[in-house]
Each structure stands twice: as C-alpha cells, then as structure tokens.
Amino acid sequence: MKVTDLPIPAPLKQSYTTKGIKSLYPPQEEAVRCGIFEGKNLLCAIPTASGKTIVAEMVMHRQVEDGGKCLYIVPLKALASEKYEDFSEKGLSVGVATGDLDRRDAYLGRNDIIVATSEKVDSLLRNKAPWLGEITLLVVDECHLVGSEDRGATLEMVIAKLRRRNPEMQVIALSATVGNPGALAGWLDAELVTSEWRPVDLREGVYWQGAVHFEDYTREVPKPSKDDDLNLCLDTIDEGGQCLVFVNSRRNAEAFAKRAASKLKVSDPTLESAAERIEKRASTEMGRTLARCVKGGAAFHHAGLAAAERHEVEEGFRTGAIKVISSTPTLAAGLNLPARRVIVRDYLRFGQNGMARIPVGEYKQMAGRAGRPHLDPYGEAVLIAKREDACEDLFETYIAAPPEEVHSQCNAENALRSHILSLITTGFAKSRTEVLAFMETTFYAYEHQGRSSTIQETVERVVDDLVRAEMIDELDEWLEGTTYGNLVSRLYIDPRTAEAVVEALRLRPAYSDFGVLELLCETPDMLTLFLRKADYEVVDHFLAERRDELWTGVPYEYDEREHFLQSVKTAMLLLNWAEEVTDEMICERFNVGPGDIHNKVETAVWLLYATSRLAHLFAPDLERPIGELGTRVKHGIKRELLPLIKLRGIGRVRARRLFNAGLTTPEDIKNAGVRRLAPVLGEKTAASVIVQAGGTVEEREEVPDVETADEPIPKPPGEHQTSLSAFGGANHE
Ligand code: ADP
C-alpha cells in the first residue's frame, strides 16, 4: 500500500516521502484495512519498531483535517517530550501536558494534538478542562500498562471516563507486549491487529560459555577479556554495531560502563567534548564517573542521572559515538534507543519479595530494542545463562513465551478510593447505583462478565469510607462531594494522604519544617528512600534531637517503624535541600543521584502545595508557613532568600550570591544600580531585576562581563515515579 494513495493530508505524505517512508509495513496495511480512516477503534499489538506510532499519527492527521482534536497518552514524561518533538515536526500544533496536577491548562486545548501522561489526563478530567469534550481521537500508547499494579487503574479509569464523556471518540491503543490482546480489544470495541512481523530481523538467543545459542544455529563469541558480558559487546562493536546491556541495579550499570570504557579505548573528539560538558556540569562523583566512561565510548543510564546527563548519553548513542550503554530497565520502558545487540544480563531483579525473575513482557520490551531500522542488518537479543541447564529454561521462559496477560487493577480498594471520589466530585456518578453502572464500563467488568464479581462490595466499602472521611455527603440515595472532597479530588492526592494531613492539622500542631515534611513522607503519595545499615544510626540520632517536632506518632511495630524511619530519612533529604546543602553532599549523604533529588523535590512541592490548600480549610494559621516551605523546597533555599526568589531570573545560586553581597530584599536591589549588581548577576539580568523591583535603569554603563548563569535545579529524569523508583531511591532503578 503506497503512502501516496492513503487518505491522509498532503503535507504528511510529503514528510513521510522525505523520510523514505514510501509504502506501509504489512501490519500498518492491516490497520488501514481494519478501518482506521473510517473511525474504527483499533488495538495494534505488534512488535517494537514495526510502525505503531505511524499508524496513530496518520489517523491523528486525518482527524485534525476533519476538524478533530487528538489526545495521545504516554506512560512517562520523558516519552511525552519525545513524542512532542516527533509530532511537532509535521505541521500540526502539539501541546504537552506535564504541568501542575491541579490546573485546567486551558491554553493546551488550543492544540491539535495533546500529549500527556495518564495521571495528567486524570487530573485534567477532575479539574473539568472543557476541551477534553472536544477530543475525537484517543491514542493510548503502551496500553498493556492497564495491567500495571501501581498505575494501571488510573489508565483504565481515564480511558473509561473519556469514552463515557465522548461516546463518538475513536480509540487507538498500541502495545508490543500484551498476552491477551483479544480481551483488551473486546473491551475497547476495537478491531485487532496482531503480528510478529518486524522491519529488522530479530534473533533471540542465550549465551553460555563462549557462544550464543539461537534456535537454529550457534554463534561463537571471541574472548578478548575474561568477562562474558563485555565480550558480547566487543563482538558486536567490532562488526560496527552498538550494544545495550540491561542490568539490575544502578551500581551494576555503573560498574559495567567503567569496565567497558577501559576495554573499548575509543578515541573520538565528539566524545571528548561530550565528556567535558558532563564533567563541567557534574556536581557528584557519579557525574564525573559518567564523564570518564563517555570519553571511553561507554555510558550508564538510570533514574539517578540529571536530565542533562541523560540527554548527553542518549544523543551520544543516537549519533553512534557511544558504543555501549548499560542500563537499569528505565530505558526499555519506551525510549527510542535501538541497538544492534541487546544483552539482558540480569534477568533476576530485587523486588518487594526478594530476588525474582523479570516478567516476560519486560524482557520483550528490552529485546524489542534490538536492530535499528534501516541501519542494522539484523538485531540480536541475548540472555546470559548463569548455569548450563538455565539455557533451555531461558528459551522456554522468555524467548518462546508470550508476554503476560493484562488484567484490570480496578478492584484494588486503595486505587478505587481515589477514582470513585473523582467520579462523584466530577458528576460522572451521583449515586451508588451510578458508580456501579460506571464500573460496568471498565475493563474489570469486561473481564469478569458473567462471573461473580466482588466489585459491588468493594464499591460499597469505598463509598462508606469516603462518607466517613467527610469527603462525600450522602443524602437519601444521592452522593455529592463536600468542599473538602472536591478539593482533594482536584489536588490529585490520595484520599488517605488527605486524611493523614487533615488529622494532623486538626490537632493544631506547632509549626515545624521537619514535622510537615516527615508527615508528608509517610503518606502513600511519597515514595521513600531505602535505609542502608549505616542509616539507622544517623536517623536515630537525628530523631533523638528533633522528635518533639514530629506531627505524627512514633510507631513501635517493626513494619511500621521501618516505614517511619524511611520517611524520616526522606524528610532529612528534603530539609538538607531546603537548607542549601549542595547536591554533591546530598548525593553522598543519602546515596542518591541528582535525578532522585529532583524526584523527591517535585513530589514534595506538590504535596506541600496540597497541604497548604488543606490548611486553608482546616488550620488557616498554618497555610502561610506551609506555603513558604513549599517555595523553599521548590528552589532549595533557606528562609532568608524568600524575598529574592520572587524575582524572575533569580534561582537558588543567584539569590544566595545577592544575599551574601548584602542585597537581601527587592528594595535593596531597586536601589543598588546596575554597576553594583552586574558583577553579581551579569548586566542583562541586573537590569531586569532592577526594573522588576520597581527601579529604573537609565544609562548603559560599562560593566565587567561575568559568567553568572544560575545553577539549574536538577531536572526530572522524566518519569513519574513508579514503584520501581521506590527501590531506585537507594540504587536500583
Ligand atoms: P513503533 O511505534 O512500533 O516502535 P515507529 O512507528 O516509531 O514504531 O516506527 C519505527 C521506525 O520505523 C521509525 O523510524 C519510523 O519512521 C520507521 N517506519 C515506520 N513505518 C515505516 C514504513 N512503512 N516504511 C519505512 N519506515 C517506517
């Protein structure tokens, strides 16, 4: 099927032709035959890189041409930016919704395509963003995540709500790893395209003692080093390819990259300048290690990296300069970084129940990265067997096995509490009967058709609980959100978090930064740091001094106590950050990377904001100090810098510099004059802040040119935290 014959807008045809996309891949053809251009729903369950995104993109352009608007749901923020860049190139207006979780983001609705995570869409629904009613096409990328334990219920409810809201809306769901595509397609009233077809041949095998065993042949691997994993890389790099190596912890990723760099001995000016850039920005030992690895042609990748470091690694790999990346599974989750050989070195991973095998779906995600379309003659995915008898087992368990089936997570009481609250506060359901009727439209109900279901009991329990918590009023059979319940729903916090906060606020505690932060770290909305052995003593010592400031009780049960101590440790990190302790020191003290600091800060800022709004209702005198702590945590500053941080262009570094130069308020700045300020801020910023502070800049004065860029606050690694990053907080993900 030729691209020129498709019913898609001419500019898109042109863009495809320029990129060398002239005819459709077989699964894409099948999708067209299924009626995607006639508005049919589709589940496209085909391998990675077989052209799923383009199927969705063609329909999006067609819909926009017909006056429609498209919503594209991705699982990770990092993917949202990638899709944004990809889609923006082709003439339509694209918006990414990654902002605060309690906004309507009206401006977003002006775009033709809106890319967002499921959490963001959920919050937009709760905040009643009016443009959601205009969506004519919903694309759900990585739709197997409906089965994810921690986030699946949100995705499922979002799909169900949007379909209820816009009954005519077309749905296109995409996934490379669904074990039961028929069931998902059935729920979505969708046509189904499944296929094993790939643009690049994928060979999957198991390595054991010097050779990779594929189904029908064996490939010898030379042994220039004593390490099997490294030999597997060198083999591919020698023939002109690149490698991705998946390992199970951050430490392992870093150790492998170091070994690889020392063996590769690449010399490349591009790498040298990348390494210099990383080194220059590096605020931690990890950053400096990364710079050394990159110089040698290897890199590691995990959620502890700062955003700029991630970017360098990904770009270096895309251009072919970096030959090998060792990574925790973050990379497999969807970033488009294919390589000729993918090595799944660790198929065991430490999880909540100790060491366990990774799921088949996860293996398939990793293996699917093998083989760059148009660039590699083939792709290879290689598992490394730890024992001879593991060879056959690995073939059966991973290579020959289908990915896991996807099952609804909507019967979990904890997940449902938040979703049922939002159904009621947004008017989707006004009675218990209507809540149940809505639940009938979920995948959960579809999966349990004709079988006895416990959903009714769960719903009853959850509604009772929300009424008890005063988030919902029940009058006769009618349910209505209270002011408090409406706020909780819009703030997008777990009702259990809200309850814990309100319970503490009602006791009118004496204000304390530590008290608030520790309380928030105990809630289900914060993933706490792990405790290492050495941490117990430090945390105990800290507690001995500041126990009086706690807003919660100290538990004595072992499990609860462990969680409590983890919360104290996490609160300590946030306090350090708000006391202007350097990144380097925080990373060392807490055994984290800059990316982790950002994750914790981001979550804390959101929870502090929510807490200040709750304080407005329940303890108004505490609203202001909590709000101020939010600003301090956001910027990483002591209280004394609060007046300065209000000025645009002033971050934690510049504010500190101004303060130390004796300029402590906007009034001081207004009166200081460009000549005094420029050496601290640079001429342009100096002029801007003087004007902001109400002063005037009359003449241009000769001032020394100094480098004054504010140190960027670490950018997010891009994801919402997942349960994985609970372990990542120490050094896994
Ligand atoms: P997926 O979403 O399944 O991982 P993509 O749609 O991103 O796959 O496509 C993978 C790569 O293949 C992209 O670089 C894309 O431009 C290219 N591609 C997709 N469809 C075709 C086609 N019909 N002909 C040539 N290249 C294609």
With a CB cutoff of 8 Å and minimum separation 6, the contacts of 449 are none
52 lines ligand 1 (CB under 6 A): yes
Residue to mutate, 21, 54, 139, 372, ligand 1, most ligand atoms under 8 Å from C-beta:
54
Cα 22 to Cα 54: distance, rounded to the nearest angstrom:
12
What's the CATH fold of domain 202-399?
Answer: Rossmann fold (3.40.50)
- Among protein residues, the one whose CA lies closest to atom 14 of ligand 1: 373
Question: For domain 3-194, is the CATH number 3.40.50.300?
Answer: yes
CA of 102 to the centre of ligand 1 (A): 35
- Among protein residues, the one whose CA lies closest to atom 24 of ligand 1: 21
48 lines ligand 1 (CB under 6 A): yes
CA of 535 to the centre of ligand 1 (A): 48
* DSSP annotation string for 370-410: BS-TTT-S-EEEEEEPSSTTHHHHHIIIIISSPPPPP---T
- Among protein residues, the one whose CA lies closest to atom 1 of ligand 1: 49
Provide CATH code, domain 495-641: 1.10.3380.30
- Among protein residues, the one whose CA lies closest to atom 10 of ligand 1: 49
CA of 508 to the centre of ligand 1 (A): 58
CA of 41 to the centre of ligand 1 (A): 20
* DSSP annotation string for 609-676: HHHHHHHHHH-GGGHHHHHHHHHHHHHT--GGGHHHHTSTT--HHHHHHHHHTT--SHHHHHHH-HHH
Taking a C-beta distance cutoff of 8 angstroms, is the pair 101, 491 a contact? yes
Residue to mutate, 6, 21, 89, ligand 1, most ligand atoms under 8 Å from C-beta:
21
* DSSP annotation string for 451-507: S--SHHHHHHHHHHHHHHTTSEEEETTEEEE-HHHHHHHHHT--HHHHHHHHHHHHT
With a CB cutoff of 8 Å and minimum separation 6, the contacts of 38 are none
Cα 286 to Cα 732: distance, rounded to the nearest angstrom:
14
531 lines ligand 1 (CB under 6 A): no
What was the pLDDT predicted at 703?
A: 45
220 beta partners:
211
DSSP 305: S
Other Cβ atoms within 10 Å of 648 Cβ, number: 8
1 lines ligand 1 (CB under 6 A): no
**Nearest ligand 1 atom to alpha carbon 47:** 3
- Among protein residues, the one whose CA lies closest to atom 5 of ligand 1: 51
Token digits of residue 421? 């609250």
What was the pLDDT predicted at 731?
A: 31
193 lines ligand 1 (CB under 6 A): no
CA of 395 to the centre of ligand 1 (A): 28
φ and ψ at residue 455, rounded to 5 degrees: -60, -35
Cα 247 to Cα 261: distance, rounded to the nearest angstrom:
16
Token digits of residue 227? 């390490």
User: Among 708, 665, 653, 664, which residue's Cα sits nearest to residue 686?
Assistant: 708
CA of 37 to the centre of ligand 1 (A): 19
Cα 263 to Cα 1: distance, rounded to the nearest angstrom:
47
205 beta partners:
382
3-state secondary structure of 75: coil
375 lines ligand 1 (CB under 6 A): no
Residue to mutate, 4, 36, 53, ligand 1, most ligand atoms under 8 Å from C-beta:
53
φ and ψ at residue 348, rounded to 5 degrees: -105, 140
- Among protein residues, the one whose CA lies closest to atom 9 of ligand 1: 51
3-state secondary structure of 207: strand
Indicate the CATH number of 413-491 among 3.40.50.1820, 1.10.10.10, 1.10.3720.10, 1.20.1740.10: 1.10.10.10
CATH 1.10.10.10 maps onto the chain at: 413-491
**Nearest ligand 1 atom to alpha carbon 54:** 6
Other Cβ atoms within 10 Å of 33 Cβ, number: 11
Taking a C-beta distance cutoff of 8 angstroms, is the pair 81, 718 a contact? yes
User: Among 145, 168, 166, which residue's Cα sits nearest to residue 156?
Assistant: 145
- Residue 527 φ/ψ region, left for φ over 0, alpha for ψ in the -120 to 50 degree band, beta for the rest: beta
* DSSP annotation string for 557-570: SHHHHHHHHHHHHH
Taking a C-beta distance cutoff of 8 angstroms, is the pair 72, 112 a contact? no
* DSSP annotation string for 419-459: HHHHHHHTTS-SBHHHHHHHHTTSHHHHHTTTS--SHHHHH
**Nearest ligand 1 atom to alpha carbon 55:** 6
CA of 294 to the centre of ligand 1 (A): 29
- Among protein residues, the one whose CA lies closest to atom 18 of ligand 1: 51
State the first-to-last Cα distance of the chain, in angstroms, to the nearest integer: 42
CA of 174 to the centre of ligand 1 (A): 13
Token digits of residue 47? 């391998």
CA of 244 to the centre of ligand 1 (A): 20
Could you tell me the pTM of the whole model? Answer: 0.86
21 lines ligand 1 (CB under 6 A): yes
User: Among 183, 137, 191, 142, which residue's Cα sits nearest to residue 27?
Assistant: 191
3-state secondary structure of 518: helix
Token digits of residue 72? 């594209």
What was the pLDDT predicted at 220?
A: 94
CA of 48 to the centre of ligand 1 (A): 9
With a CB cutoff of 8 Å and minimum separation 6, the contacts of 74 are 80, 83, 115, 116, 117, 141, 142, 334
Cα 696 to Cα 702: distance, rounded to the nearest angstrom:
17
User: Among 33, 82, 89, 81, which residue's Cα sits nearest to residue 61?
Assistant: 89
CA of 541 to the centre of ligand 1 (A): 56
**Using N-to-C axis directions, what is the helix angle for 495-506 and 413-425, rounded to 10°?**
80
211 lines ligand 1 (CB under 6 A): no
Longest dimension (CA), the chain: 82
25 lines ligand 1 (CB under 6 A): yes
pLDDT along the chain (733 residues), means of 10: 93 92 95 96 92 95 96 88 87 81 69 94 90 96 92 96 96 94 97 93 93 93 93 94 93 95 89 94 89 95 87 93 90 74 90 82 90 87 90 92 93 92 95 94 89 80 96 95 96 96 94 97 94 93 94 86 95 97 91 90 96 96 97 96 92 92 90 85 86 76 46 32 30 31
- The three-point CA angle 452-455-461 to 5° equals 130
Q: What is the CA radius of gyration of the chain?
A: 27
26 lines ligand 1 (CB under 6 A): no
49 lines ligand 1 (CB under 6 A): yes
φ and ψ at residue 513, rounded to 5 degrees: -55, -45
What was the pLDDT predicted at 109?
A: 86
Taking a C-beta distance cutoff of 8 angstroms, is the pair 463, 432 a contact? yes
198 lines ligand 1 (CB under 6 A): no
135 lines ligand 1 (CB under 6 A): no
CATH 3.40.50.300 maps onto the chain at: 3-194, 202-399
175 lines ligand 1 (CB under 6 A): no
Give me the numbers of helices (H) and strands (E) for the chain, helices first please. Answer: 32, 19
Cα 495 to Cα 487: distance, rounded to the nearest angstrom:
10
- Among protein residues, the one whose CA lies closest to atom 11 of ligand 1: 49
Taking a C-beta distance cutoff of 8 angstroms, is the pair 717, 233 a contact? no
CATH 1.10.3380.30 maps onto the chain at: 495-641
79 lines ligand 1 (CB under 6 A): no
